[in-house]
Structure 1
Amino acid sequence: MRIRATVAAVSGALALSAFAVPAAQADDAASRADIAKIREAAQAASGKSALSTRAPEEGQPYALNVSFSNFKIAKAIKVGTTNPVSTKATFTMTHGADVDVTAGDFHVDPFLYKGAFDSPDNMLFGNKYAKCTPTSSTTANCAGTIDFYPAQSELLNSDAGSWKAGAMAIAFNGQSPDGETFDITKVGYKDQGGLASTLVQRYSKLTVNASPEPVAKGKTITVTGKLSRANWEDNKYHGYTNQPVKLQFRKKGSDTYSTVKTINTNATGELKTTVTASVDGYFRYSFAGTTTTPAVNATGDFVDVR
């Protein structure tokens, strides 16, 4: 299940004020809408002590006795324009002996957030809740995924770059949010941010074409290409402008590319330069990447020098 969230500021807890949940991706367990009710109730903690330290009050969940550590996630996640992307997250959950982590209505979720923990610009979760395996009476190893659906307008171009990771746990303790006797003060909730960081990047493409082919030794070779990256707002690829890109050459029979020169992409992301033909080999462009856009190498283009 996907959540594209507009997040309201909360003191010590994340609370989602808007959800876009495709029906085709509904969970079998407690729905994200149920979780949303608990998070929204946690907004009442704004301007008070943090949810993790206060006692339960009327209309609010109590602070669940859990914490998270040892969070691991990929250093960078490349997201294109249409294809779904999934990345694994693992972490350790420590909990009080009174917390039943094996209960059917106990849920744990890793998530990523952009910006400040108390008032993030965006949050992304996984399709399903994490699975946790107890390792002692008070610890469990958990594994889940963060899922990206760029075609569903989950990301803005400004979202590219550094994100932080967090995790949450909720214990419904037999309470049904849809039930007439639902008592939110009997529901436990805890979220924790700043557990790790990762880069969410706009997928990049790089092309090259060296011509003419074949070419006489000593003649001029023109090498063109284009550097483009995913635009998450119109689901197309656009040129990445004014970026340094290396022109590299590999002699026939060699496995190593050497840099010939560095040029910048123009206003549409295009590349063009010339070199003198000397020996048979492969030309390619190579982009080192930025925080918002991953490194990429074009597939070498062979030139027959005669």
Structure 2
Amino acid sequence: MRRRATAATATAAAFSAVLAVVALAVPAAAQDDSVTKFWNIDVNHNRDYTVGVEAARKRVFTIGATVSDPNGVRSVSFELRHGEEPAKADGLMVGRADCSKIDATTSYCEALLTADPNVNLHDNSVAGLWYLTPVAVDGDGNVTRADGLYHAYFARIKRDAYVSQTVATPQPVKKGKSLTVKAQMTVASWEKHKNVPLIGHQVLLQYRKGTSGPFVTLKKLKTDRNGWATTTVKATADGAYRYNFAGTSLTTASIGWADYVDVK
């Protein structure tokens, strides 16, 4: 059996260039026709290739790809690592795929991987970008690792964030009077195995007049040292208030439950 590699390991500059594009998978146009090809990489059936993980509960998710080789596809597995250099990776997930044949040379392969705060998410520093390496064995036993310059695949493993129920006081309120509107932001801590305040992050205070229609943004503000977003607004009409957090490269997005206010 011989081992084949599709390309040399990418430099840091090359990886940075890849991250600048919207699509996370670089087309394999430069790959020779004689080796295994991977395309339609799918992580967690999410357009952003994102997986959110709670503070103390493992998360099982899928990674899939269409794989082809002139000699057929015998088996496929997927490796996720945190760290650009494999030898220095500080997090690893591996899943062996189940493959369904499309034709004699092509299969669709999907694996289950597990992100676990008790095992491979040992601290919060591993949140963010993880490098994905598909590995295939063809019908002749040749191994292809798609981890080079022309196969820069990624997944985003993020800490789950939460916005609490929004509370607007006082209620009922007279038209033109001030309302205090607040909610708390928390985020999963894989180190402490519990949710902790999300400090100093921007959230949007949004309002919807009446009981239907879109929410519009009234204010942008940052959470305090305890994760609270608190502000005042003038009561103008019956409607609902909520806080919206867009997420970051390390945390998931979240929208809190709205509080409906009667204006007298």
Q: TM-score, normalised by structure 2?
A: 0.75
Query: Which has the greater radius of gyration?
Result: 1
Q: Report the counterpart of residue 27 of structure 2 in structure 1.
A: none
> 1:214/1:151 Cα in 2 relative to 1: closer, same or farther (>3 Å)?
farther
Deviation at 1:67, TM superposition (A): 4.9
Q: TM-score, normalised by structure 1?
A: 0.65
Deviation at 1:93, TM superposition (A): 2.7
Matched residues in 2 for 1:304 and 1:100: separation? 63
Deviation at 1:254, TM superposition (A): 2.7
Q: Report the counterpart of residue 177 of structure 1 in structure 2.
A: none
Residue 86 (str. 1) matches residue 60 (str. 2): yes
Amino acid at match of 2:199: T
Matched residues in 1 for 2:40 and 2:60: separation? 20
**RMSD after superposition:** 2.6
Matched residues in 2 for 1:216 and 1:151: separation? 51
Q: Percent identity?
A: 28
Residue 116 (str. 1) matches residue 84 (str. 2): yes
Q: Which among 134, 153, 176 is matched to residue 196 of structure 1?
A: 153
For 1:179-258, list aligned pairs within 5 A.
Answer: 189-193=143-147, 194-207=151-164, 208-258=166-216
Aligned length: 223
Q: Are the counterparts in 2 of residues 69 and 195 from structure 1 also a CA contact under 8 Å?
A: no
Q: Which among 242, 245, 256 is matched to residue 287 of structure 1?
A: 245
Matched residues in 2 for 1:197 and 1:78: separation? 15
Matched residues in 1 for 2:127 and 2:53: separation? 9
The higher relative CO (CA closer than 8 Å, separation ≥ 6) is in 2
Q: Report the counterpart of residue 135 of structure 1 in structure 2.
A: 102
Amino acid at match of 1:161: G
Runs of 5+ consecutive residues of structure 1 not aligned to the other structure = 1-11, 14-64, 102-106, 174-186
Deviation at 1:156, TM superposition (A): 2.1
Q: Are the counterparts in 1 of residues 163 and 255 from structure 2 also a CA contact under 8 Å?
A: yes
Q: Are the counterparts in 2 of residues 71 and 195 from structure 1 also a CA contact under 8 Å?
A: no
Q: Are the counterparts in 2 of residues 81 and 151 from structure 1 also a CA contact under 8 Å?
A: no
Matched residues in 1 for 2:100 and 2:85: separation? 27
Q: Report the counterpart of residue 71 of structure 1 in structure 2.
A: 41
